[in-house]
Each structure stands twice: as structure tokens, then as C-alpha cells.
Amino acid sequence: MGYITTDDNVQIFYKDWGPRNAQPIVFHHGWPLSSDDWDAQMLFFLEKGYRVVAHDRRGHGRSSQVDEGHDIDHYAADAFAVAETLDLRNAVHIGHSTGGGEVARYVARYGAQAGRVAKAVLVAAIPPLMLQTDANPVGTPLEVFDGFRAALEGNRAQFFRDVPAGPFYGFNRDGAQVHEGVIQNWWRQGMMGSAKAQYDGIKAFSETDQTEDLRAITVPTLVLHGEDDQVVPIAASALKAVKLLPNGALKTYRGFSHGMLTVNADVLNADLLAFVTG
């Protein structure tokens, strides 16, 4: 574990576990969390002999709580700074939710760097565009994201309790098995971060059109999405994304939530391993 410093003097916290000569698996976390959200996957791939790397996005987790740069461009540039500093080559980049947007921009913009990227995975990811527009009628209305901003500004601690206790993990569904520790861990990660970064991040994950990023990704890319995702609805994301990817494949999961990488880690880990080794 350690820190790298970006060109604009932001300290980015990262974890780097496993043999340095093993193939790297790089994990990109979702909003408003941290690299800790990938614990189940990092331990799984570490045990399989891989080098596993994950960083806290600027303003999140243990990285600098700067007041600027909370957009997809900076997210991708920071990820590249980590990859360049650690000299990660032939890596598989896996992103969840907003982290999927980070992966798409990173691979599209920096993937041409010789040998840096082997494959990519978008898990419950935001691309191509979450926001409802005339061209994207299946997207989520702006009023919903305005509600997120109002809730965060009004009572962030309560908002960060309500999201994981409800739609994020599908704990609001009839018959759902609720895991209190999972809710508390989501809250812990969220409250570690900067309210400013998280506020700005809502615009970043909701209004960034990544259509051209997806079209530019030529490496094999797996799109994984839960069919009961209440946060990033599948119709506006995965079902569109796979059609834009030149070398993409889609797998969906009946009844799985946005937070499936945690509550269905056994299923996700097996499918991720199959893709990495395939």
C-alpha cells in the first residue's frame, strides 16, 4: 500500500498485493466508495496467484480531498498515473458503476500505451449515459440526480445509510436477506470521502456521455449487469454498451442488484476468473 502523486499534486492511495511478475488485475470502485469495496475480489484473485491493484479515487477513501477534478477525465488520468507508476502491463481493468466509466475512459484514452491493457470488465457500469435525454429516453431523469444532490447536501450521513439499506443491494425487495454489516461498511466507506468530491461526482456519473469511449475500446470487454439493478438500470447502460463495443460480450443476472459484486461475490468471482483466463 502507498500513495502516488499526480501531475496536479493530488495524492492517490493504492493497494498493490501479490507477485510483481504476475498478471495485474486492476479494480476501479464505484461512487461514493473506496478500493475497499473490492475486498472479496482482491482476496479471491490474490489466492489465484494474480497481482491485484486498486486505488481510491481522488476525494474518496484515503486519497486527497481536493476540491477540483471530480470528473471522468481526471478519474481516468489518475488511474493512468497509478498504472504508469507501478508499470502495470497486460492488465485486466475491472470497474464497477462509476468505476466502469473510469475504466471505459481509461482504456479508450490510454489503452494504446504498449501492452498496458489486455482486457476490460464493466460491472453494473454507467456507460454509455445514465441521464435521460431526447436521444436517450430510457435514461434516468435529471430530477432524480438533483434529489441525490439535495439529500447529500442536507444530511449526507442519513443518505449514505438509506442507499445501501435500500436500492443499492436490493435490500428493499420483499424477501431480501439483509446484511447489516454490508450496510455499515458502505456507510463507512462513503463517510471517509469528501462531500465535495461526492457532490461533484453525481454530475460526473450521470451526465457524461461515453458513447465514443465504448466505440474506441478494442480489447475484449465483458459487460456484467444485474437485471434488478435499481441504481444503474440495465436498459440505459449494459444493453446499449455491448452494442457499442467492438469486442464486447454481455452477461446478465436475473434478480441481481447493483451491489452484486458484494452480495453475490461467489458468482461474480467465478465469472470474472473465467473471462480473465479465457
Catalytic residue numbers? 97, 229, 258
CB 50 within 8 A of CB 23: yes
CB 59 within 8 A of CB 198: yes
Give the CA count within 13 Å in the CB-facing half-sphere of 1. Answer: 6
Residue with cell 453475490: 264
